[in-house]
Structures are given as C-alpha cells and as structure tokens.
Amino acid sequence: MAVANAPTLIGERQPLTLQQFIGLIKKLSPAKIAQLPLEIIPTNIPADVAEHAPAGSRAAVEDLLMTINSAHLKKRIADVENYGEEIVSAMDKAKNSCTSNTLRVFKNKILTLIELLQASKKEAKVIPEKNLVNQLLSINNLLIDVRSESYSMVSTLDTLCAVKPNSEQDTKRFEALIKRIKTAVTVTENTLGEYYILRLKLLARIIAEKKKNIEAHEESSAEYKKELAILRDELDKTKGFWNRTVKRKSTLAEEEIVQNRIQELINQINQNETVISENDLILWLDTIVDASLNERSQARVAKSLRTARISLYYLLNRFCKGQEESAIQIAQNPFIQVDPEQAIRYMLMSEQFILDYFMKKKNEKTAWLSGAAENKIAELDNLQKEILAELKRATRGIL
C-alpha cells in the first residue's frame, strides 16, 4: 500500500514521516529508491535506517542518504552566504519547532492529572489537598522550560518574518517555515492556556476552602481571644511594686494560675488553625497571574479569576496579619525570651508582598523573553497595578 501512496506524496512534495519513509524503502526497488525526490525525505533520519530495507535495497538507501546529506550541506552553505548564520539558525529552529520533548512530557503530566481527577470523580473519592498540590507542583516544574521554548519560538518567528528572500523558491521556503513555527507557538500557548484553566479551577476550590476554614476558626476563637486579653491585663497588674513586695507569695501563685490559663487559651486558639504559608501564596499568585496573562485562559475563566482574586486578597491579608500578630505576641509574651524589636521586624505587609512578587516575576520574564520582553513586562505592570488597587479595596472590607 505504501508504494501506491508514494506518487501522491511525491507529486505534492510533502515530507514523509519516518514511518512512511521506512514503509517505502521496504517496498520499492533500488531503482525507485534512487529516484525519490529529496524534498519528501524526512529530517533527522536515524543512521541505521537502511537496516529496515531488504538486503538488496540497502545500498540504494545508503546512497540516497549520502545524496541528501550532501544536498543539505550545499544548501546550508548557500543559505549562510545569502542570509547569515542567525537566519539559518532560526530556520533550523523552525524546522524542529513541532517536535518538542519538553511539551510532550508537559502534556503527559497534565493528562495524568486529568485521569486522576476523572477516576476520583467516578469513585466519588476526594483527592487530599496535599496530593493535588504535589501533582500541580510537578507540572509547574516544567513550566519555565515550556514557556522559554514558546518565547524562543516567538523570537525566531520575528526573525524569519523580517527576512527578505532572494528568490521565489526561498519565499516559499520561508513561508512554510513561518507557517510551521506559528502552528507550534499556537499549540504551545493553547496547551499552557488549558493548564492555566485547570490549575485555576483546582486551586480556586482550595483557596475558597481555606477562606471558609479561617472564617470558621476566627469565629470559634473570638471568645478565647477576649479572655486572653483580660488575662494579660491581670498578668500586667501582678507586676506592680505592691504585689512584688508585700503580697509576693500570693502574687506568684496567682501569676502561675494566669500563666497556665493563658497557655491553655493559646493552645486552643492554635488548635485546628488553618495554616497559610508563603509558598501557598506564591503558588496562588502564580496561578492567578498566569491565567490573567494568557489570552486563551483569560477569556474562558474571567468569573473564576475574579472569585479567586477576592479570596486571595482575604488570605493574603490574613497571612500578613497573622505574621504581624505572631511577632507582637512573641514580643509581648513574658515566657519567651526574644528581642521584641527583632521579632517585630518579621512582620510582612500585603502590599510589599505583592510588590516583591511582581519584581521577581518581571525579572524572570526579562530573562526568558530577552528582546521580546517589553510587551509582557507592560502587561505585568498593568496587572500589578490592578491587583494592588483591588487589594486595597478588598482590605477595607476585610479588616
């Protein structure tokens, strides 16, 4: 059947896949193999491909490969002379743009996560948050490589689009390469967009659940905090001169009772507390920022983005407020010997957290994008301003 299909492929001058080429050399005679047009021979043929042909045809296959290599070398030398090394390098990148192993592994990891979610839904089992986050982090580890490849392809595309071909034949070659790399960029960006959508939806649930748990915990611990404030006032009163001299013995006994109760209350407040880490916040910010900057995800999850942002502002404020309260609590706690000034320096404010995050993000994008960074940096600047403005509005309603 391969022989029957050969004339169509040859006539159209379409490059064969490796499997199609192997099918041809298994069926064609040595004479027919020698007549195969060079344009249809696939790139990156293995050196041992002749082993797939019958013994009588192997010499013809090897001669064909030598002819191909010689023709490619001559063409490359001519291209370098006509267009320069930079353009030829961009042409090579375009030729290989649809064969990214990084993107293939990235897609496979996403499919594994989707299969896990589907199995969980079918079996009515909830995936533990830790397992889900670990799956996402595993995929995130490939993000910088996939995005770097995408940005590199965009740069290559710009280089090729600026070329002025010397002949009609070269015009067709460059048009084919530009079409190929545009397809690769679209596939990569769409894959990233689909992942950003999936990640946003999954983490939006986690963010919402965290917010719900924190609100419930704050409500249940409100009475404990009132009692704690009263007890601390009582503890301060025991430090007076009269209590420390005339009533020293009874004061020490009262102080021990108050201290024990304070410790009990602190333990009860801390019990079942929902912990928010800095790594959580960075992961959530990455999720929201990436989905906001990708055209495909931005258009499809606008509502989810808005809901996730509001929840994130709440959690960010709670995280920073918790940092501040912890520092003050350490500074005020008479049972812990820590320099109060040093402890209070550990406070982290929401606005500064956002500014630091975006500064790091812009530095990363500058490294990835090189000369093409300007537009993306402008997008990040606009998003930073938008998030800070929303954060300030949300803070007035939260605190």
Our CA dihedral for 221, 225, 227, 231, rounded to 10 degrees, sits at: 140
How many helices (H) and strands (E) the chain has is answered by 16, 0
Confidence of residue 89 (pLDDT cuts 50, 70, 90): very high
**Residue whose tokens read 């931005």:** 298
Residue for token digits 């050399």?
Answer: 25
Taking the C-alpha atoms of 83, 85, 86 and 90 in order, what is their torsion angle to the nearest 10 degrees? Answer: 90
Alpha-carbon distance of 239 to 234, in angstroms, equals: 9
- Least-confidence region, from 248-252, 366-370, 382-386: 366-370
pLDDT > 70: percent of the chain: 76
Residue 357: what pLDDT? Answer: 79
Q: In this predicted structure, what is the pLDDT of residue 346?
A: 40
CA distances from 39 to 11, 14, 16, 167, 188 (A): 10, 7, 9, 18, 27
Whole-angstrom Cα distance, residue 182 to residue 375?
19
How high is the pLDDT of residue 205?
Answer: 86
- pLDDT digit string, tens, across residues 171-219: 998 999 999 999 999 999 899 999 999 999 899 888 888 888 888 877 7
DSSP 346: T
Integer Cα distance of 77 and 42 in angstroms? 20
Those residues with Cβ within 8 angstroms of residue 120's Cβ, 6 or more apart along the chain or in another chain: 126, 127
What does DSSP assign to residue 42?
Answer: P
304 in Cβ contact with 201 (< 8 Å): yes
For 127, 203, 273, 284, 288, the CA distances from 130, given in Å and listed in that order, are: 8, 11, 16, 14, 19
Lowest-pLDDT choice from 33-37, 275-279, 287-291: 275-279
Q: Is the pTM of this model over 0.85?
A: no
For residue 240, give the H/E element and its range. none
pLDDT over 70 at 235, yes or no: no
Residue with tokens 């545009």: 182
Cβ atoms 109, 197 nearer than 8 A: no
Tokens of 28: 């064609």
Query: E strands along the chain, which residues?
Result: none
Q: What six digits make up the tokens of 163?
A: 């070329």
